[in-house]
Structure 1
């Protein structure tokens, strides 16, 4: 593989041609270590975030921070402050059917519902849920919260989802609510 010289003054080592900055491997490793200390390394948290449930974190030499809400791993929330309440309308798929429901605790709620996939979360309470039930009344299966996965309903869900992971969105909502409360 062709090489060029390291751009670090006083270093005469070869720098690989495919690197964005002309540095030898030793100086690249030093730069990588510096970047990790400065900006952290994104990786799976040792355990889910106690605030938002995210599994993705940013590791610094001093601590882990949740990548979604920036809660410091290991810190315990003040017992006097309740976890932020976020009402969401959810869209769960099971086969060719879609359940439209609402909850303030999606992880616990979804554990109790047989489903294949979480399609989307939409911020809203029972009023929004009722509006969605009316909006898709033609697709409703009897008097349940289950609907036929029609092109019209699936198009609505895609517009709500906006190609964003629903759990990332939920984590952001929790983080925003906690920040507004001054945590």
Structure 2
């Protein structure tokens, strides 16, 4: 936030006649009157939209976050316009992921094409990250961290090198499920 110059107590935007509006700013930190601030806010919402919860989960990717425009809603993850008809003749998009789960001092590395269903059946404390990939990527990760593997399971000791790998995957990702939703949306868009 900035402090307006002392003389900026009146609106500087031109009125319909091209002259400075001259109305009081009402204490705004910039030289605009409340009417012009409202006009800027309306334009911003129409142009950029307002992020909010969707009225119902996105039919294309399942995300709950959307962008509300005057013309309607769009999914923030996959950009599907709420109300557009999905091609029900197409199979649902498939996105294989390698998942990283924490349970106490262990990390599980597994793979699935349906993480919500799969992870619901696995006891865990936290979903750490998703990595796009199938069984081949999972096998590479199992080989990469073989020294940390607990018996012949998919569980590994949470050692610094594994935690660093997971940290790189999770860098910049607030919610792994939102990333997965974006991947589903991208896959749906590629299907047509």
Partner in structure 2 of residue 77 of structure 1: 86
Shift of 1:175: 2.4
Equivalence map 1:2-41=2 (5 Å)? 4-10=9-15, 11-15=21-25, 16-19=27-30, 22-41=31-50
SS at match of 2:136: helix
What is the root-mean-square deviation of aligned Cα atoms in Å?
Answer: 1.9
Q: SS of the counterpart of 1:164?
A: coil
Shift of the 76–96 alpha-carbon distance from structure 1 to 2, 3 Å rule, reads farther
Distance 1:154 1:131 in 2: 16
Mapped to 2, the partners of 1:112 and 1:96 lie a distance apart of 19
Q: CA deviation at 1:171?
A: 2.4
Structure 1 position 96 matched with structure 2 position 105: yes
SS of 1:174's equivalent in the other structure is: helix
Give the SS at the match of 1:6: coil
Q: In structure 2, which of residues 52, 68, 71 is the aligned counterpart of residue 62 of structure 1?
A: 71
**Which residue does the alignment assign to 1:150?**
159
* Aligned-partner Cα distance in 2 for 1:63–1:103: 34
Rg (Cα) greater in structure:
2
Q: Which runs of 5+ in 1 are unaligned?
A: none
Gaps of 5+ in 2: 16-20
Deviation, 1:28, is 0.5
Count of matched residue positions in the alignment of Structure 1 and Structure 2: 180
Could you list the per-position Cα deviations for residues 88-116 of structure 1 after superposition, in whole angstroms to 9, with x for gaps in the alignment? Answer: 00001111111111011112222222212
Tell me, what secondary structure is at the counterpart of 2:92? coil
Counterpart residue number, 1:170: 180
Task: Tell me the distance in 2 between the aligned counterparts of 1:18 and 1:113.
Answer: 53
How far the C-alpha of 1:176 sits from its partner, in A, is 2.3
Give the whole-Å Cα distance in 2 for the aligned partners of 1:12 and 1:29. Answer: 16
TM norm structure 2: 0.85
Partners of 2:9 and 2:145 in 1: CA distance: 64
